[in-house]
Amino acid sequence: MKLSLTVNGQATTLEAEPRTHLADLLRGELLLTGTHIGCEHGVCGACTVEVDGAPARSCLLHAGACAGASVRSIEGFAEDPVMAALREGFSAEHALQCGYCTPGMLVVARDIVLRLPHADEARVREELAGNLCRCTGYRGIVRAILGVLAARRGAAT
């Protein structure tokens, strides 16, 4: 099937098997390999991208469901200021080790920061429950997000 969608701000038309999922499309057809595949059944969160402004599991979206959608993968956040703050925080708090869950984790972290400016530690942990990290034990990830939240609240006052 022919599929038109916007990826990282660029209108794209490509040919796809209907059974192909969005993660494979991004990685295989568009060579956007920053989106990682972990379970392909929507539990681990490694493949999380932004679809029409909200985080989504790219392994659960079939090509047909993406027609007309606006998709933003980790590569599309390179110039984003919130993501820049999160990258800085992730590095400072040692929130990544092997790096495999990191792109999906960052997309969710950015959503938390923008949607829940007053989130406390318990809420951040709850919001991260859909993203598995096998390396870090989460402490650095939670601290990095809380740090960015605090800095933004400080800047807003």
Partner 1 sequence: MTAPRSGHGVGASLRRKEDARFLLGRGRYVGDIRPAGTLEVAFLRSPVAHARLLGVTKPAGAEQRVFVAADLPEIGPIRANSALPGFRVSEQPALAQGKLRHVGEVIAACVAPSRAEAEDLVAACELDYAALPVVSDMLAARAPGAPLIHEHWPDNAFLETRRDEDLSDLDAVAAAKVVRRLRTARQSMAPIEGRGVLAEWDPRLEQLVVTTATQQPHVTKTGLAECLGLDEGQIRVVSPDVGGGFGYKAILLAEELACAALAMRLGRPVRWLEDRLEQLTANANCREHHYEVTAWADAGGKLLGVEVNATVDAGAYSAYPFSACLEAAQIGSIFPGPYTLPRFRFHTVSACTNKPPILPYRGVARTGVCYAMETTLDALARQLKLPPEQVRQANLVPPEAMPYRNLVGKVFDSGDYPEALRRAVAAVDVAGIRARQAAGEAVGFGLAVFCEQGAHGTSVYHGWGIPFVPGFEQAQARFTPDGVLEIRTGVHSHGQGLETTLAQVAHQILGVDPARVRVVHGDTALTPYSTGTWGSRAMVMAGGAVAEACTQLGERALAIGAALLQAPRAACVLRDGAVHAGEAKVTLDQVARTWFRSPQNLPADVDRGGLEVTAGYRPDPDTGTHSYAAHAVVAKVDTETGCVTLESYVIVEDGGTLVNPMIVDGQVLGGTAQGIGTALYEEMPFDSEGQPLAGTLADYLLPGATEVPDIRIDHMETPSPWTRFGQKGIGESGAIGPPAAILNAINDALAGRGAEVLDLPATPARVLAAIERALA
Give the binding site for partner 1 (CB under 8 A): 17, 19-20, 27-28, 32-41, 43-44, 46, 73-75, 78, 87, 90-92, 94, 96-103, 106, 121, 124-126, 128-142
Cα 10 to Cα 5: distance, rounded to the nearest angstrom: 8
Q: How many C-beta atoms lie closer than 10 Å to residue 154's C-beta?
A: 8
Q: Which is nearer to partner 1, 36 or 68 (CB)?
A: 36
Q: How far is the CB of 101 from partner 1 (least distance, A)?
A: 5
Q: How far is the CB of 157 from partner 1 (least distance, A)?
A: 26
Cα 112 to Cα 100: distance, rounded to the nearest angstrom: 20
Of 103, 94, 98, residue with least CA distance to 131 = 103
Determine the distance from the C-alpha atom of residue 29 to the mean position of all C-alpha atoms in its chain, rounded to a whole number.
Answer: 19
Q: How far is the CB of 65 from partner 1 (least distance, A)?
A: 17
Q: Which is nearer to partner 1, 7 or 131 (CB)?
A: 131
41 CB burial (10 A radius; 0-12, 13-18, 19+): exposed
Q: Which is nearer to partner 1, 52 or 121 (CB)?
A: 121
**Does residue 4 sit in helix, strand or coil?**
strand
Q: How far is the CB of 39 from partner 1 (least distance, A)?
A: 4
Q: Which is nearer to partner 1, 52 or 126 (CB)?
A: 126
Q: How far is the CB of 44 from partner 1 (least distance, A)?
A: 6
Q: Which is nearer to partner 1, 109 or 156 (CB)?
A: 109
- Backbone phi, then psi, for 143, in 5-degree steps? -65, -40
